[in-house]
Amino acid sequence: MSDTTPNSAEPASQAPTSQAPTAPPVAAKKPFTATHHGITLDDPYAWLRDPGYPTVENAEVLAYLNAENAWFEARMEPHRPLVDALFKEMRARIKEADKSVPQKDGDYLYWVEFEEGAEYKKWWRRPVGAADDGSADQLILDEVALAEGCEYFRLGAFSVSMDGKLLAYSVDDNGSERFTARVKNLETGELLADTIPGTLSSLVWVAGDTGIVYSLANEQWRTDNARLHWLGKPLAEDVELYHEDDEGFRVGSGLSANEKWLIISTSDHETSETRLVPAQAPLTPPILVKERQKGVEYEADERDGTLYILANDTHENFRLATAPLASPGEWTTLIEGSDEFYITGFDLFRDFYTVEGRLAGLDQIQLRYYDDPARIEPIDFPEASYTAGLTSNPEWAMDVLRLSYESMVTPDTVYDYHVAERRLEALKVQEIPSGYDADAYETQRLEITARDGTAIPVSIMMRKDRAPGGPLHLYGYGAYGISIDPGFSTTRLSLVDRGFAYAIAHIRGGDDLGRAWYKAGKLERRTNTFTDFVDVAKGLVERGLTQPGRISISGGSAGGKLMGAVINSDPDLWGAVVAHVPFVDVLATMLDASLPLTPGEWPEWGNPIEDKAAFETIRSYSPYDNVGAQAYPPMLVTAGLNDPRVTYWEPAKWVAKLRELKTDDNELLLKTNMGAGHGGKSGRFESLKETAEEFAFILWQMGLEG
């Protein structure tokens, strides 16, 4: 590739100076073409991908990213008082010195605590029956100490051995999602010599706490293995228990609910396969539950020689089946699949089992009994729109279940459900120190008809005294069958208390209304996701809830792709747009099988390498490929230099192309976290600062800064 003349007398590849910039950077354009299916793609910003990735050291690339960051800082500088005010009020809603409700696991009660001003938490325990006066409390892991001196910190796996004497945990200190696993002796406080770098998995204790099963991330950031590490032995002696040959599949491990079996699973976005190995004898040849069949997803657990299998083989909304352990592939239906009830999961306990799912898009939890299949006990909740689910229930013999509940107006509430009494006991309600009056707010669940006649659910929160037609923030995701639940957010109040309605569009591509809802927004039907979002916005205008140009929108990752698509199609609707780590260079990424996620993503988006129809479909909506010479709304875009999911160059290239082609003078800002990954900055307050910046940008661009 050779340089061409940039569209500016002062290309952004110059090293940043201490003087604030007075104009946005303009990236150099360099000729680069690629031909697929007889079609030549021109990508003059392809050079922004450092050839040494995942190491990014190219001076010109770094200079451009730093220039964009300098422009972001310069443009946001006059609005720092608003950022600071937003951050202050967001922080005031957090109870800084806080702790979780202790939960029993074996001989101990476990909980986590945040101390005043701390970014990270501490993990504690005390023996069951000991006095709750602090005298028997044991600090087993201190994230604050581990994170000291790190620009980024994230705890990955956390697993206490079955005898309670050892703790296996893993840490990522740069956002690359390559974790280093360590083992701590909880009786002495010392770290064992065992260190496993490059993990991307849970850490599972086996063989009487003498071994740990884990998965390594390979060079393409794919977990294609399950490995066994014997404590005290060198890594070179670790045993590969399973290797996955399909580059699109990922491997993960866990224990059965009764802790008798090591469960090794491998899957992509539409197909899965499971093996069971005796946890006490992990070198035993595995039991294959059923060979993979394209399009069939299943998961399994075991009780008293019977397998329980959740599978979508007979109904897309899944059925629950059983099979003898001796004949694991012979499945008999226990709970039929249903168009109405979408089964999302199950948990086995000694005396009963639970089934979780959604009915008309709302969470359901049912208790069922092994000896009486007709006995079904749903747990009832008080509101018309909410999200609820089981949380930490680590023991096999449970008679009280721990669960969480919240809605858009109800703070997170921790409950114990007393099984025998069928009674909910509230243990803790999220405290908001600065005050919160739920009666000042209302929530609605609407249905807005899309252009093809499909009713799209929308969850909305606003103040009861909000003026009609005011500003509205619309959030969406719509991919991978991930639902966006109508939960509570303390940060959201900073918009709502300034007159915004806050809406969540439950668009196709998520599984909010079941698997059919997911399938209606993937592959060749992907554009339904984008048109649903636009139609929801227009429907909210028609209902008088807002007006064109008074709608701010946001989404991240695949939701960032959504942002890119809807600004191309309907730019005049939006008053401000925030795209976090946006997956916008879809075609180029799906054409590059060497990238970490690409092979595993083909079932979601299509394989444009082999399938010309998939190539054309992706090309038709890929935001980067469809940037045009038109006016665009004000935009804030974020990226993470170490992000392995959406590589930094996707948002960087997108912004560069937008700067080149857009015909408006609206703000376009790119902020790249140079020491973080997909989730932005770590730490509970550092992440709040980024939300404060996002909201300040929205208020500034919507003319509501005062």
Number of domains the chain contains: 1
Q: Which residues of 218-246 are buried (b: 16+ CB within 10 A; e: fewer)?
A: eebbbbbbbbbbbbeeeeeebeebbebee
pLDDT surpassing 60 at residue 60: yes
Beta bridge partners of 109: 104, 126
507, 425 contact by CB (below 8 A)? no
- Asked if residue 638 belongs to a domain, the reply is no
Of the residues 253, 385, 643, 682, which is catalytic?
A: 643
pLDDT surpassing 60 at residue 15: no
Our separate counts of H helices and E strands in the chain read 12, 39
Question: Considering the chain, what percentage of its residues have pLDDT values greater than 70?
Answer: 97
Q: How confident is the model at residue 5 (pLDDT cuts 50, 70, 90)?
A: very low
Q: Which residues contact 466 (CB under 8 A, 6 or more apart)?
A: 499, 500, 501
Name the residue among 603, 576, 532, 617 with its Cα closest to residue 705.
576
CB atoms within 10 A of CB 133: 8
Distance CA 191, CA 651 (A): 40
Mean pLDDT is lowest, of 17-21, 36-40, 41-45, for: 17-21
What pLDDT does 681 receive? 64
- Asked if residue 500 belongs to a domain, the reply is yes
Q: How confident is the model at residue 431 (pLDDT cuts 50, 70, 90)?
A: very high
265 counts as catalytic: no
- Asked if residue 468 belongs to a domain, the reply is yes
540, 503 contact by CB (below 8 A)? yes
- Tell me phi and psi for residue 68, to 5 degrees: -65, -40
Name the residue among 398, 404, 400 with its Cα closest to residue 417.
400
What pLDDT does 609 receive? 97
Of the residues 459, 557, 622, 682, which is catalytic?
A: 557
Query: Residue 52 carries which side chain, given as an amino acid letter?
Result: G
Angle at alpha carbon of residue 524, lines to 522 and 529, rounded to 5°: 45
Domain span at residue 488 reads 442-547
3-state secondary structure 619-681: HHHCCHHHCCCCCCCCEEEEEECCCCCCCCHHHHHHHHHHHHHCCCCCCEEEEEECCCECCEC
Q: Which helix (H) or strand (E) holds 617?
A: helix 612-621
643 counts as catalytic: yes
Q: Which helix (H) or strand (E) holds 601?
A: helix 598-605
CB atoms within 10 A of CB 209: 16
Structure tokens at 198: 């490059």
Angle at alpha carbon of residue 459, lines to 458 and 461, rounded to 5°: 135
Q: Which helix (H) or strand (E) holds 318?
A: none
Name the residue among 1, 31, 34 with its Cα closest to residue 591.
34
Per-residue pLDDT tens over the stretch 505-521: 999 999 999 999 999 99
Question: Considering the chain, what percentage of its residues have pLDDT values greater than 90?
Answer: 90
Distance CA 413, CA 383 (A): 13
Per-residue pLDDT tens over the stretch 229-265: 999 999 999 999 999 999 999 999 999 999 999 999 9
Name the residue among 253, 298, 309, 251 with its Cα closest to residue 279.
253
Per-residue pLDDT tens over the stretch 457-509: 999 999 999 999 999 999 999 999 999 999 999 999 999 999 999 999 999 99
What pLDDT does 18 receive? 61
Query: Residue 169 carries which side chain, given as an amino acid letter?
Result: Y
Name the residue among 367, 366, 358, 403 with its Cα closest to residue 385.
358
Average pLDDT on 668-691 reads 84
Query: pTM of this prediction?
Result: 0.92
What pLDDT does 680 receive? 65
344, 336 contact by CB (below 8 A)? no
Report the CATH number that the domain containing residue 521 is assigned in CATH: 3.40.50.1820
Q: Which helix (H) or strand (E) holds 214?
A: strand 211-214
Average pLDDT on 326-334 reads 97
Average pLDDT on 110-137 reads 96
- Asked if residue 29 belongs to a domain, the reply is no
Sign of CA pseudo-dihedral 566, 569, 573, 576: positive
User: Which stretches of 103-155 are DSSP H helices?
Assistant: 143-147
The gap between the terminal CA atoms of the chain, to the nearest Å, is 49
- Asked if residue 197 belongs to a domain, the reply is no
pLDDT surpassing 70 at residue 9: no
Distance CA 209, CA 229 (A): 11
678, 644 contact by CB (below 8 A)? yes
Query: Residue 378 carries which side chain, given as an amino acid letter?
Result: P
pLDDT surpassing 60 at residue 655: yes
Average pLDDT on 4-16 reads 35
- Strands of the sheet containing 455-463, edge to edge, are 441-449, 455-463, 501-505, 472-475, 551-556, 574-580, 635-640, 668-673
What pLDDT does 2 receive? 31
Give the chain's mean pLDDT. Answer: 94
- Strands of the sheet containing 332-335, edge to edge, are 298-303, 306-311, 319-324, 332-335
Of the residues 172, 532, 678, 682, which is catalytic?
A: 678
- Tell me phi and psi for residue 59, to 5 degrees: -60, -40
- Asked if residue 666 belongs to a domain, the reply is no
Query: Residue 421 carries which side chain, given as an amino acid letter?
Result: E
Length of the chain: 706
Eight-state DSSP code of residue 571: G
3-state secondary structure 253-291: EEECCCCCEEEEEEECCCCEEEEEEECCCCCCCCEECCC
- Asked if residue 54 belongs to a domain, the reply is no
Rg of the Cα atoms in the chain = 26
Average pLDDT on 202-221 reads 95
- Asked if residue 492 belongs to a domain, the reply is yes
Per-residue pLDDT tens over the stretch 174-191: 888 899 999 999 999 999
Name the residue among 669, 686, 696 with its Cα closest to residue 65.
669
620, 569 contact by CB (below 8 A)? no
What is the DSSP annotation of 56-100?
---HHHHHHHHHHHHHHHHHHGGGHHHHHHHHHHHHHTS-SSEEP
Q: Which residues contact 611 (CB under 8 A, 6 or more apart)?
A: none
475, 461 contact by CB (below 8 A)? no
What pLDDT does 7 receive? 32
Structure tokens at 449: 């008809």
557 counts as catalytic: yes
